Structure 1
Amino acid sequence: MDEMAKFEGLEARRSAFFTKPRAAVSLMFLLNGFMVGCWAPKIPEFAERLQLTKFELGLMILVFGVGSLVMMPFAGAQIAVRGSRVVVRAFAVLLLPMILALTLAPNVWTAAVALFLFGGFIGAMDVAMNANAVSVEKTMRRAIMSSCHAFWSLGGLLGSAIGGLLISRWGVLGHAEASTVLAVLFLIIAWPMVLGDQPHPDEAKPKARLPMIPLPWLLGIVALFCMVPEGAVLDWSALYLGQEKGASVALSGFGFAAFSATMATMRFAGDFVRDWLGAVRTLRVCTVFAIVGMMMAALAPNAEIAILGFALCGIGISNMVPIAFSAAGNIPGLQPGIGISVVTTLGYSGMLVAPSAIGFAAEHVGFSPVLMALPALLLVVLALSSLARYADGIGESEH
């Protein structure tokens, strides 16, 4: 009887671990990351087709970031009224044709509109799928957020890894068509399983008051300085490898692919690593990996060594942002939603907007010196790493 009870308990835990809503929200993260990954290897061709300088391409990428920052609050308001299932489905559908739109854009102005919408739909879907993941966590009574973000990285890996290969074999239009078909398949599978949650109109009210204590803002700086290098690898690694390291079209897409591969792997392992080392030590180890990886990529004598550097950087960046988000939700005396909203806004603004400044700087000095400067931001993260203790709930005992 004892053996039977153990077996039944194991089966119950296993069935609780694998649920349809969890599979659906994981697929939504995968789809979102896949679309971003498909964009990364297209950037060099996009710039060449529209005859953009590095500075002008930086402005175009800024348009992508502005689109996201404009649409994120709109998505939050819609979630409060309609629930996350409706919103995540709607923006996933709107996102599907955007790789084709960017491929077919005939001039700079239509490309700018397409990039604004692409960034907007990516950002809005990001908010909605994170909200849906929170609802799934509540129904399952277990944390799944880290693995959801791992699926986003996995999607980025898939999109960027196949992107360069498809472009070199089938051309940019063939790549756009194939990636769109794959994205549609992801959404069709996820669609009927997405968890239906109730709207929460009161949740937006506490966010109207900004916190007056410095702690959430300092954690926001941690997230910001972690996500600037991530945005740099996403938007500029393919161009850097192609223009300054002589990589082929197929090889240039593997910079972000290697970064995404190591990031996804370490995010799947993130909960175990944090339990083993603690949040503070995990953040410090990750930051050192990110610094070493970025310096290796910047000083690499060839594309292969640079790709290895980006892979090491992915190991580092992987769990830095989740730790910052987790710490923000455990600040004593502050509602979790307020702390997290400050940190996520600052963090995502860094990933979305800062790459345009990188493009401006690279126009004058090249990518290598710019990549060498990014570890200075990570040194600030290292200096603030003791704040990660709140991710372990230690801060509660201090009040």
Structure 2
Amino acid sequence: MMTSTNAPSPSSASAGPTAQVRRARWAVSLVFLLNGMSFCAILPRYPELVEAIGLSNSAFGLAVGIGPIGGLLAGLGAAGLMRRLGSARAAVAFQVVASTAHLLVYTAQSWLWLTATLLLAMAADAITDISMNAHGMRVERRYRRSIMNSYHGWWSLGAAAGGLLGAACGQLGVPLWIQGLFGLVVFGALALVAGTAMLPGHDTSEREERAAELAASGPAAGSAAEVPSAELPGAAVSGPAGDDASQGAPVRGRWSLAPRTLGMLAALGMVLVFAGSTEDAGGTWSALFMRSTFEVGPFVAGLAFVSLQGAQMIGRFTGDAVVDRLGDRMTARIGAVLSALGMAFALLVPHPVTAMIGFALAGWGIATLFPAAFRAADDMEGVMPGVGITVVGWLARLGFFLAPPIVGALADAITLRYALWLMPLYAAGILLFSGVLGGRRTDRHGPAA
């Protein structure tokens, strides 16, 4: 999938990103888009699967909750796979595997079948997720300015488009297997095309060249060169390390972390547990909520999820500018308040329109949290390259693992409308842990392009 073995030098960014780097940005954006679209096209059709298999809310929630165990387990091996394949090849290969698993989800005939295929899909998604974020950070270093929120904006665009596709297919009565086969062929082919435009070279190229630049700039930066270069290629590469990690910060070993560092990574993970639980509520339960509470058709039922992802997409495409102005911490706190107020309004004043507004505000509120937490983990001192983002990404999947069965059990006990009051509580959790995120940032990568 690589077209060259020589990566462009970060120093060339002072004259603006090269054509190769710009192509790589679009390629990474395409993988993010496909990753969101392939899975989220399934979500509006969950009610049909539930009805066809004959599942209760609890049984369905348990199946969806078990799925992320595959991601939790696979995420532990993502770094090793990327050392062997590179982040580009890993992202593309496992996106194709994920689309294959999605076809099996569409054709599920039993609870066990559904659960097993969701396990496989989430395992492939975990490796794709870590790998595409890792490669996206490589490209961001070439740009020398923040572009990570825009990647996640493309994921939200794909999720919204997938939601619309699934809702339209449901309304038109398109068989589930046909929709799944279409996704495998089209999304798989586009992922392979994206792989041809990814950055060449080793995933540590940018860090090594940045360290060399700092070493050449003067004695004060010389400590950057003291990090043994032999350590870098063998490091976990699920995400490039922040520049601080290459500037003489104490390195304790690939997975050995100081207690304070581990606590900060755990707090970042909790931010994403609550953000992921909010996102899961829109993905797993919004269509069922619309169908059971308002008795709307398949297309309208799918619009609650589309509202969440559409607002999240806007928040992410505009998020880089907002974060540069307010900082990750303040942006997260404002978003958490919006999310809580929006869902409280939707649940206190139940109507299809207020539900869409509530889910939209929830999506907008959590828009920047995944890029913010990945950035904070990536920049953490004393952490080997890739370890921070792998740990935080792994912890984030706990939200997708724990939330669905809890919501499902509550829905059977008190109805789904009241079970979704957990969403304002998720926002309170984000507020509680938001202090670990960064304030207003100066440029981490050097002069702006």
TM-score by length of 2: 0.79
**AA paired with 2:362?**
C
Q: 1:331 to 1:103 in 2, by over 3 A?
A: closer
Q: 1:187 to 1:313 in 2, by over 3 A?
A: same
Select the residue among 294, 307, 317 that pairs with 1:268. 317
Partner of 2:127: 124
Q: 1:167 to 1:197 in 2, by over 3 A?
A: farther
Q: 1:340 to 1:49 in 2, by over 3 A?
A: same
Partner of 1:5: none
- Secondary structure of the 1:389 match is coil
CA distance in 2 between counterparts of 1:258 and 1:207 reads: 41
Aligned: 1:294 with 2:343:
yes
CA distance in 1 between counterparts of 2:14 and 2:382 reads: 39
Select the residue among 360, 363, 383 that pairs with 2:412. 363
**AA paired with 1:212?**
P
Q: Using the TM superposition, name which of 38-47 and 174-183 deviates more.
A: 174-183
The number of equivalent residue pairs is: 386
- Secondary structure of the 2:236 match is helix
CA distance in 2 between counterparts of 1:138 and 1:10 reads: 9
> 1:56 Cα deviation (Å)?
0.7
Select the residue among 234, 244, 264 that pairs with 1:201. 234
Contact 1:33/1:153 (8 A) holds in 2: yes
Aligned: 1:182 with 2:186:
yes
Partner of 2:38: 35
Q: 1:354 to 1:10 in 2, by over 3 A?
A: closer
> 1:85 Cα deviation (Å)?
2.1
Aligned: 1:77 with 2:80:
yes
Q: Using the TM superposition, name which of 96-105 and 160-169 deviates more.
A: 96-105
> Superposition pairs for residues 298-337 of structure 1, below 5 Å?
298-331=347-380, 337=386
Partner of 2:162: 159
Q: 1:174 to 1:24 in 2, by over 3 A?
A: same
> 1:219 Cα deviation (Å)?
2.6
Partner of 2:394: 345
Q: 1:291 to 1:210 in 2, by over 3 A?
A: same
Contact 1:221/1:347 (8 A) holds in 2: yes
Q: 1:389 to 1:208 in 2, by over 3 A?
A: closer
Q: 1:332 to 1:131 in 2, by over 3 A?
A: closer
> 1:390 Cα deviation (Å)?
5.2
Q: 1:299 to 1:210 in 2, by over 3 A?
A: farther
Select the residue among 114, 137, 140 that pairs with 2:140. 137
Q: 1:104 to 1:248 in 2, by over 3 A?
A: same
Contact 2:281/2:423 (8 A) holds in 1: no
- Secondary structure of the 2:199 match is coil
The gaps in structure 2 that reach 5 residues or longer are 1-11, 204-232, 238-251, 444-449
> 1:198 Cα deviation (Å)?
1.9
Identity %: 29
Contact 2:33/2:158 (8 A) holds in 1: yes
Q: 1:375 to 1:152 in 2, by over 3 A?
A: same
Select the residue among 90, 102, 106 that pairs with 2:93. 90
Contact 1:82/1:198 (8 A) holds in 2: no
Deviations along 1:36-91, one digit per CA (max 9) or x if unpaired, are: 21121121111111111111111111231111112122222110222112212221
CA distance in 2 between counterparts of 1:270 and 1:387 reads: 18
CA distance in 1 between counterparts of 2:392 and 2:374 reads: 7
Partner of 1:13: 16
Q: 1:252 to 1:286 in 2, by over 3 A?
A: same
Q: 1:164 to 1:342 in 2, by over 3 A?
A: same
> 1:337 Cα deviation (Å)?
4.2
Hey, which of these two has a bigger chunk of helix by percent?
1
CA distance in 2 between counterparts of 1:178 and 1:187 reads: 14
Q: 1:219 to 1:186 in 2, by over 3 A?
A: same
CA distance in 2 between counterparts of 1:386 and 1:65 reads: 27
Aligned: 1:381 with 2:385:
no
Contact 1:206/1:338 (8 A) holds in 2: no
Aligned: 1:212 with 2:262:
no
> 1:338 Cα deviation (Å)?
4.2
**AA paired with 1:69?**
L
CA distance in 1 between counterparts of 2:190 and 2:292 reads: 34
Partner of 1:230: 279
CA distance in 1 between counterparts of 2:143 and 2:349 reads: 46
**AA paired with 1:159?**
G
Contact 1:147/1:267 (8 A) holds in 2: yes
- Secondary structure of the 1:24 match is helix
CA distance in 1 between counterparts of 2:121 and 2:309 reads: 20
- Secondary structure of the 1:201 match is coil
> 1:209 Cα deviation (Å)?
1.7
Q: 1:65 to 1:31 in 2, by over 3 A?
A: same
Contact 2:269/2:396 (8 A) holds in 1: yes
Partner of 1:397: none
Q: Using the TM superposition, name which of 134-143 and 156-165 deviates more.
A: 134-143
> 1:237 Cα deviation (Å)?
0.8
> 1:387 Cα deviation (Å)?
3.0
CA distance in 2 between counterparts of 1:191 and 1:325 reads: 23
Q: Using the TM superposition, name which of 32-41 and 371-380 deviates more.
A: 371-380
CA distance in 2 between counterparts of 1:17 and 1:348 reads: 33
Aligned: 1:191 with 2:195:
yes
Q: 1:296 to 1:189 in 2, by over 3 A?
A: farther
Contact 1:327/1:392 (8 A) holds in 2: no
Q: 1:360 to 1:197 in 2, by over 3 A?
A: farther
Q: 1:195 to 1:300 in 2, by over 3 A?
A: farther
**AA paired with 2:202?**
Q
Aligned: 1:50 with 2:50:
no
CA RMSD of aligned residues (A): 2.7
Select the residue among 228, 253, 267 that pairs with 2:302. 253
Q: 1:103 to 1:387 in 2, by over 3 A?
A: closer
- Secondary structure of the 1:318 match is coil
